[in-house]
Structure 1
Amino acid sequence: MGEISIKINIADRVYPLRITAEEEEVIRYAAKLVNEKIKELQENYAVRDKQDLLSMCVLQYATGMIKAERALQQQDTGLEQSIHELDTLLTDFFSK
């Protein structure tokens, strides 16, 4: 599919984007989550500057992403080890 033009509002600023139609739902949902996080931070902390709120929001999402990547990497390592052990067991079994 071709590209479409949309406008996304983040922290009371409008950003025009050209995206594929398949990306639209994800991008709109991501913008919604960012705006909700900014609102939450604004309510819980005495911060009013949008730049500070955006920075705190980005830091939280980046931290979460890094944690998720590390957990996935550890899970992949564990799976790789389990496959190697299973391969060893099967090789031993069939070589007898």
Structure 2
Amino acid sequence: MGEISIKINIADRVYPLKVNMEEEEIIRKAARLINDRIKEYQENYAVRDKQDLLSMCVLHYATQTLQSEKKVKNEDAAIVTKTQQLDQLLADFFAEQ
């Protein structure tokens, strides 16, 4: 599919973007999440500067991303271990035959 032009509002600033049509929905959802997080920080902390709010938001999402990557890496390692154990069980079984 082709590219389309959209405008995304983040922290009261408009950003014109060219995106693939299939990416539009997720980009708009991401912008909503960022704006919701900024609003939450404005309500819960004595921070009003948009730059500080954006920095806090970036830190939040970067931390989430790193935690998710670590979880996936640990799960992948567990799958490799289980696969190796299963492979060894099968090798032992067929060696006895």
Computed over aligned residues only, the root mean square deviation of the Cα atoms, in angstroms, reads 0.4
Q: Deviation digits for residues 18-70 of structure 1, max 9, x if unmatched?
A: 00001001000000000000000000000000000000000000001000100
TM-score normalised by structure 2 residue count:
0.97
In 1, Cα distance between the equivalents of 2:57 and 2:5?
25
Q: CA deviation at 1:94?
A: 1.1
TM-score normalised by structure 1 residue count:
0.98
Counterpart residue identity of residue 77, structure 1 = A
Counterpart residue identity of residue 85, structure 1 = Q
Q: Which ranges in structure 2 are unaligned for 5 or more consecutive residues? A: none
Aligned residues: 96
Task: Point out 4+ residue stretches in structure 1 off by more than 6 angstroms.
Answer: none
Q: Give percent identity, aligned residues only.
A: 62
